[in-house]
Structure 1
Amino acid sequence: MPIRGGLPPRNPRFVGREELLAHMRGLLGNGPVVLLPSADHQLGGTGRTQLAVEYAYRYADTYDLVWWIPAEQTAGMRAALVGLAQELKLPEARDINRTLGAVRDALSRGEPFRNWLVVFENANRPEDIKPYLPSGAGHVLVTSRNPRWTSEVAQAMPVPVFDRTDSVDFLRRRAPELVATDAERLAVHLDDVPMALDQAAAVRAAAGWSIDEYLRRYDERAAELAFPTPIRVAWGLAADALAEASPAAFELLQLSAFLASAPVSWELLWAARGLASPELARTLRIERRLKAAIRLIGRYGLADLDPPGAGLIVHPLVRGMLGQQLTSERHAAMLRTVRAMLAAADPGDPDNPAHWPRYAAIVPHLVHSDALGGDSEEIRQLVINCVRFLYARGDYDSSRDLAAQAAARWTDSLGETDEQTMLVSFHLANALRAVGRTADARALNAQTLRSQRDVLGGDDETTLATANSVGADLRMQGHFNQARQLDADNLVRYRRLFGESFPTALRCANNLAADLRLLGDFRGARALDEQVLRQRQMIFVEGHPETLSSRAGLAFDLFGLGDYAGASALLAGSGHFDALGADHPMALWAGRFAAMAARRAGKADARERAAVNVELYRQKFGDLSVDTLAAVVSLANCARDAGDYDEAHRLLERAVARYHAVLGDEHPFTLAAACDLAGVVRATGRFVEARTIDDEALRGLRRSVGRDHPFTLSCANGFAADLIAVGEAQPAREIALDTLNRSRSLRGADHPDTLACAFNVALDDGDESSMRAAIEELAKVYGDGHPVPERALAGRRLETEIELPPL
């Protein structure tokens, strides 16, 4: 049996279509096929979806995998593809686009399944699904109402109405007592249109009408319409019959005019129980009444039911006809009800994964209900929460698109200084940063923060949230001291307003610790991280991501202070990161920091651990992520320590080029990576080239982070080695001595890098006594047999390579 996902139930009353199914089978061997309405029924109703479902079941045994993807809206399509990624055992990237690309590539390669069928249902915008269409030996089937499909994307296959024999068979399968002549009379009236035939059969069975009664009503209804069509007339009869049988059920159906074709669960409809008319409210109040009304709508052929019968799927044509039937007043009233219903279904806390299924059920209906045009704060807050949900789930593009639409609409209707306009702008900036548009995010955040401070004041919670985001922008720009000043001010405000143990206050303290770490103040960062970790352990369950964030940050602090054993022990304790999964951001941080500590401790497996970490980062974030690049730098340092200078040079050269592209030429991380590159170049004997790289990097670091920053001191130590190698002994001695003094002041006399600088000064001076003293201290720090004191014993100059903290 093939693996199946999302496939609708098979229609037990499917008839005919044998030639179409055979033709479709043949076309799929040549590439993707798109099923379209026939030219004389452009609005649909000819049975495209049912044909696709039947094909999937009929030929299922020829496939290893059959996956059904609702594609009417991008967010729903992406969610279904993420489900397919899980089935394919693909790692889920934080950016959902990387996951979707991995799905496409795995299917195209035929790994792990060579024969597969993927069906995109209601894909009405070819440009939306084109990036996700796989190639290879599998088959892609699309259903669509849009005729703008080119042969380059998919082969068009129009789906006509039934032939007369199939119409008769279809009607008699629905009603076995129906004689062939009566079935043919009905088929003639309905022009063999499958959707009209289905509605006629359903309403006859539900209402108990004879053929003559139905045809009489049909002719009367057709005479009332200016442009009667089989679907419009048949639908009208079914709608009238349902309204007569159950006004509440019909009103429930009318609500669907403002919802999408995605399944509408009874839980979502239940949220309207305090908002609807008295007649409908009585039905909605009790679950069994609501489910009975849903089943009644299905009996009259006006909606498909989820397999359990607990939700509605309303055809786009039915939705359209329902909307056209409403008066302007009724339309406005029902639209208000639907919007209020969606707002009432909002579970809140969109960062909580337990709430994501509810948000996934709500998001498809935002467009059709025009929730962005809602006139209440609750509805606008729902939109904001959906923006955040999409971001938290990793669908940054959908989050950005929804936030951008909301920001534009609300700026026009409410003004750019409205509280919710500013809040959705904050979320838009987050999404922009996540998709790589850092300059746009920075500009929007700065503008939003100015407006919030003017309108809401500096102590408003949303103002503080935006200020935190601006701090992230400053860190990304390399303005570490400005970020520290802003985050320190934010922390004072948070603690005054909420107390120091409030979760958002702890996040702000965590950000301030990150600033201090980036500034090289590892003592200050350690004190703050220890405090935040204790408080998070008291308020969060063991294994909470924020607790593990503090643990990882503290580990880097210890590494920066030269306590490599302490960093390793903190990261290895009790498997704290295991529950998150190997590719969770906190687990990735822990993996890199552990590899760094293992390298400094001289462990043989450091390089292997760093290589695994880099691959996980690439899968999760891509090659241009600053986190991936930092992991590459750590791997390069491992390769250099192992004497593999060619690999270290390759890794660092690429990392430096990408840092230039992502962060800019003057960013401290770009310059720091260049210093590490110079160290590899120096190790291969290209001293003039290394001197040029170090000279430029050192000047840049002195400008950006100052002379006393660890990055600058490490670069200066390398530059002194360059100068010695090219015969500039006097300036080399001056720089080396200045670096040693600054390192003692900043890091302490017993820090491993200070001891390395002390040895280098003694080596340059030929001071045997000072060299022996430095070697003894290095042996105490690293232990006997460690490569660093061994190199010193061999009379080789010591490097102080740079490891990059998280931004």
Structure 2
Amino acid sequence: MPIRGGLPPRNPRFVGREDLLSRVRGLLGNGPVVLLPSADHQLGGTGRTQLAVEYAYRHAETYDLVWWIPAEQNAGMRAALAGLAQKLGLPEARDLNRTLGAVRDALSRGEPYRHWLVVFENANRPEDIMPYLPSGAGHVLVTSRNPRWTAEVAQALPVPVFDRADAVDLLQARAPELSVGDADRLATRLGDLPMALDLAAAVRTATGWPVGEYLERYERRAAELAFPTPVRVTWGLAADALGEAAPADRVLLELCTFLASAPVSWQLLWAARTLPLEPEIARTVRVERRLRAAMRRIARFGLAGLDPSGERLTVHPLIRGMFGQELSSERHAELLRIVRGMLSAADPGDPDNPAGWYRYAELAPHLIHSDLLGGDAEEVRQLVINCIRFHFARGDYDSSRELAASAVARWRDALGESAEQTLLASFHLANALRAVGRSADARNLNLQTLRTQREVFGADDEATLATANSVGGDLRMQGHFGQARQLDADNLVRYRRLFGESFPTALRCANNLAIDLRLLGDFRGARALDEQTLRHRQAIFVDGHPETLSSRAALAYDLYGLGDYTGVAGVLAGHAEQVAEDHPFALWAGRLTAMAAYRLGLAEARDLATANLEACRQRFGDLNVDTLATALSLANCVRAAGDLTAAHELLERAVIRFHAVLGDEHPFTLAASAGLAGVVRAAGQHHEARTIDEEVISGLRRSVGADHPFTLSCANGLAADLFAAGEGQPARELAADTLRRSRVVRGADHPDTLACAWNLALADQDEAAQRQAVEALGKAYGDGHPVFRVTAAGQRLETDVDLPPL
């Protein structure tokens, strides 16, 4: 049996179409096929979706995988593709676009399934699905109403109405007692159009109308219409019949007019029970049993599809459109108000919590069709904001950005630029912009939003503080660590005054401030803050909570910066296993473990760092700062092992990418360049290393100051460059200054300070100082560490740079 996902139920009354099914099969061997309405039925109703469903079931055994993707809206399409990624065994990237690209590439390669069928339903914008179209031995089938498909994208196959024999078969399958003559009369009047035939058959079954009576009613209704198409007339008869049998059911179906083509669950309709409604519809939605019965009756009249479990209704776009055209402006406004209220009542809240994501996945497709952006009620707009955050939290940054940008544009006009929810949407838009690489746009928007919030709501407003935290993130991304520290320190004081020091958002702010301190080289201050934050989080969160694990990773980075490499393992022990292998915490823990192993001289450090880099590439991509920092850590291991060529390739590539991602003057770019200088120096190219180091140290002194660990590491290397050039006096002065600063900043017993002491003693040819330095290194590292092979050979020691998370 093939793996299946999202495939609608098979139509047990499907008839005919043998020639079309054969043509689909033949054309798919040449590339994607798009099923379109025939030229005389551009609005649809010819059975494209049913044809695609039947093809999928009929040929399922020839495929390893069959996956159905609703493509009417981008967010729903991306969610379905993300589900396919799990079935393909692909790691989930933080950015959903990377996951979707991996899906396309895996299908194209035929890994792990060579023969597959992917169906894109209602893909009405070819440009939306083109980035996700795979190639290879599999097949892509598309249904669409849009004729703008070029042969380069897909082969167009118009789906015509039934031939007469198939039309008669369909009618007799629904009513076996129907004579061939009566079936022929009906088919003739309905133009053999599949949707009209199906509606007529359903209504006759539900009402018991004989063929003659049905045709009489058909003619009367057709005479009332200016353009009496078969679908419009048969729909009107079905809607009227439903309204006569159960008026509340028709109202329920009218509500679905304002929802998307995505399946509508009874739970969503049930949410309307809290709203002020007409008595009859209120009685129906108040009790689950009655609501489910109404859904069954709607399906019985052919006006919607009901899944086999009776859980979800699916209303055809044509049916939705015709209901909408029949409504008066007053009735339209009233029903739209109810639908918006129903959707907001179904909002589970807490969009960051994965436990509620399935609820948001159901709500999000309906936002556009119900025009939630135009809702007047505050709770309706809050649902929009929560959906923006939901998309962001699950990694669909494009959907988050698109929805947030639409909300900001609409609400600025309707509510004003300084309205609370306009500013909230702006805050979330900035987050999404940053996530898709538009850091400058995010920074500018955040600054504008923060200024307005402070003017309108004050600096102590919770939303203002959240934006200020985001601005702190922007400052870190720019490399302005000191400014970020000032802002986050002010935020923390305000958070603690307003909410107390153990409030979750106050702890997040404390976490951010510790990041700032760590980036500034103040590992002692960061450690004190991280230890306090971890204690609070352990007290208020369950074991294994992501924020507690994040605090552990932060504390481990602090210990590493303080030179306590054995302490790193103690903090992380047993906790990385509490999350998935590609979870950010697990990747941070893996990188720290590799870094500490390298510093401790363990043989497995290089393998650990190699595996961690590959995992980061899969999760974050090659241009992510965490990935680039991991490449720098691996390069340190590789250089120490003597593989200078591989280390140079790693660092050269990382430096180029740091320049592209963070800019030329960012401290991380400069620190990575210092690492590259170390490899160049190890290869004996001291002049080239000096050129790099002099440029780097100048930039670091400007950006983070002369006492920063990055600057001290670069200065240690530059001193070696000067000695190699025969400039003994300036080299010695720089080495002595670096040692003095390192003792103050890092501490006298820090391994990097001891390395600086050894280098100065070596330059001075001071044997007593050399013995003292080696003895101190022995206390720091223990016996048998590789560092002693270097000192025994009378060579200088490098002080490598590792980058903490931004």
Same fold (TM over 0.5): yes
Task: Tell me if structure 2 keeps the 8 A contact 1:543–1:577.
Answer: no
Deviations 1:727-756 (A, max 9, x none): 111110010000000001111111101100
1:45 aligns with 2:82: no
1:531 and 1:662 map into 2 onto residues whose CA distance is: 33
Task: Tell me if structure 2 keeps the 8 A contact 1:782–1:789.
Answer: no
2:706 and 2:569 map into 1 onto residues whose CA distance is: 30
Deviations 1:213-260 (A, max 9, x none): 100000000011010000000000000000000000000000011000
2:12 and 2:344 map into 1 onto residues whose CA distance is: 38
Deviations 1:617-636 (A, max 9, x none): 11111100011100110111
Structure 1 segment 216-365 matched on structure 2, within 5 A: 216-275=216-275, 276-365=277-366
1:383 counterpart residue number? 384
2:570 and 2:380 map into 1 onto residues whose CA distance is: 49
How far did 1:311 drift? Answer: 1.6
Structure 1 segment 717-756 matched on structure 2, within 5 A: 717-756=716-755
Structure 1 segment 438-587 matched on structure 2, within 5 A: 438-571=439-572, 573=573, 575-587=574-586
Task: Tell me if structure 1 keeps the 8 A contact 2:68–2:120.
Answer: yes
1:629 and 1:464 map into 2 onto residues whose CA distance is: 30
2:194 counterpart residue number? 194
Task: Tell me if structure 2 keeps the 8 A contact 1:762–1:770.
Answer: yes
Residue identity matched to 1:771: Q
1:163 counterpart residue number? 163
> SS where residue 272 of structure 1 aligns?
helix
Task: Tell me if structure 2 keeps the 8 A contact 1:537–1:547.
Answer: yes
1:716 and 1:274 map into 2 onto residues whose CA distance is: 68
Task: Tell me if structure 2 keeps the 8 A contact 1:95–1:394.
Answer: yes
1:402 counterpart residue number? 403
How far did 1:307 drift? Answer: 2.3
1:579 and 1:50 map into 2 onto residues whose CA distance is: 45
2:635 counterpart residue number? 636
Residue identity matched to 2:761: A
Residue identity matched to 2:66: V
How far did 1:570 drift? Answer: 1.3
Matched residue count: 805
Structure 1 segment 12-31 matched on structure 2, within 5 A: 12-31=12-31
1:422 and 1:793 map into 2 onto residues whose CA distance is: 63
2:377 and 2:726 map into 1 onto residues whose CA distance is: 75
Deviations 1:431-485 (A, max 9, x none): 0000000000000000000000000000000000000000000000000000000
> SS where residue 36 of structure 1 aligns?
strand
How far did 1:273 drift? Answer: 1.1
1:437 counterpart residue number? 438
How far did 1:788 drift? Answer: 1.2
2:705 counterpart residue number? 706
Deviations 1:660-702 (A, max 9, x none): 0111110000000000000000000001000000000000000
1:776 counterpart residue number? 775
1:485 and 1:39 map into 2 onto residues whose CA distance is: 66
2:310 and 2:147 map into 1 onto residues whose CA distance is: 33
1:748 and 1:15 map into 2 onto residues whose CA distance is: 82
How far did 1:789 drift? Answer: 2.5
Gaps of 5+ in 2: none
Structure 1 consecutive aligned stretches of length 4 or more whose deviation exceeds 3 Å: none
1:59 counterpart residue number? 59
TM-score, normalised on structure 2? Answer: 1.00
How far did 1:306 drift? Answer: 2.0
How far did 1:310 drift? Answer: 1.8
1:793 and 1:413 map into 2 onto residues whose CA distance is: 75
Task: Tell me if structure 2 keeps the 8 A contact 1:568–1:598.
Answer: no
Deviations 1:172-227 (A, max 9, x none): 01100000000000000100000000000000000110001100000000011010
Identity %: 76
> SS where residue 255 of structure 2 aligns?
helix
How far did 1:401 drift? Answer: 0.2
1:772 and 1:665 map into 2 onto residues whose CA distance is: 41
1:702 and 1:399 map into 2 onto residues whose CA distance is: 39
> SS where residue 693 of structure 1 aligns?
helix
2:393 counterpart residue number? 392
How far did 1:790 drift? Answer: 2.5
How far did 1:278 drift? Answer: 1.6
Deviations 1:485-509 (A, max 9, x none): 0000000000000000000000000
Task: Tell me if structure 1 keeps the 8 A contact 2:85–2:92.
Answer: yes
Task: Tell me if structure 2 keeps the 8 A contact 1:723–1:732.
Answer: yes
1:207 and 1:701 map into 2 onto residues whose CA distance is: 83
Deviations 1:1-41 (A, max 9, x none): 11111111111111110100001110000000000000000
> SS where residue 66 of structure 1 aligns?
strand
How far did 1:578 drift? Answer: 1.2
1:3 counterpart residue number? 3
1:34 and 1:520 map into 2 onto residues whose CA distance is: 58
Deviations 1:114-160 (A, max 9, x none): 10000000001101100000000000000000000110000000000
1:89 aligns with 2:89: yes
Task: Tell me if structure 1 keeps the 8 A contact 2:559–2:568.
Answer: yes
Residue identity matched to 2:727: E
Residue identity matched to 2:303: L
> SS where residue 186 of structure 1 aligns?
helix
How far did 1:611 drift? Answer: 0.8
2:153 counterpart residue number? 153
How far did 1:594 drift? Answer: 0.9
Residue identity matched to 2:253: L
2:140 and 2:208 map into 1 onto residues whose CA distance is: 42
1:654 and 1:89 map into 2 onto residues whose CA distance is: 29
Residue identity matched to 1:270: W
Residue identity matched to 1:515: D
Residue identity matched to 1:195: M
Deviations 1:360-408 (A, max 9, x none): 0000000000000001110000000000000001000000000000000
TM-score, normalised on structure 1? Answer: 0.99
Task: Tell me if structure 2 keeps the 8 A contact 1:126–1:149.
Answer: yes
2:790 counterpart residue number? 791
2:403 and 2:705 map into 1 onto residues whose CA distance is: 42
Deviations 1:299-344 (A, max 9, x none): 0000001221122100000000000110100000000110011000
How far did 1:793 drift? Answer: 2.0
> SS where residue 370 of structure 2 aligns?
coil
1:261 and 1:577 map into 2 onto residues whose CA distance is: 42
1:696 counterpart residue number? 695
Task: Tell me if structure 1 keeps the 8 A contact 2:274–2:345.
Answer: no
Residue identity matched to 2:141: L
2:429 counterpart residue number? 428
2:206 counterpart residue number? 206
1:410 and 1:309 map into 2 onto residues whose CA distance is: 38
1:470 and 1:269 map into 2 onto residues whose CA distance is: 40
2:769 and 2:407 map into 1 onto residues whose CA distance is: 67
Task: Tell me if structure 2 keeps the 8 A contact 1:748–1:754.
Answer: yes
1:683 counterpart residue number? 682
2:308 and 2:785 map into 1 onto residues whose CA distance is: 66
How far did 1:582 drift? Answer: 1.0
Task: Tell me if structure 2 keeps the 8 A contact 1:76–1:364.
Answer: yes
2:152 and 2:799 map into 1 onto residues whose CA distance is: 56
2:715 counterpart residue number? 716
1:99 aligns with 2:99: yes
1:672 and 1:12 map into 2 onto residues whose CA distance is: 66
How far did 1:274 drift? Answer: 2.5
> SS where residue 271 of structure 1 aligns?
helix
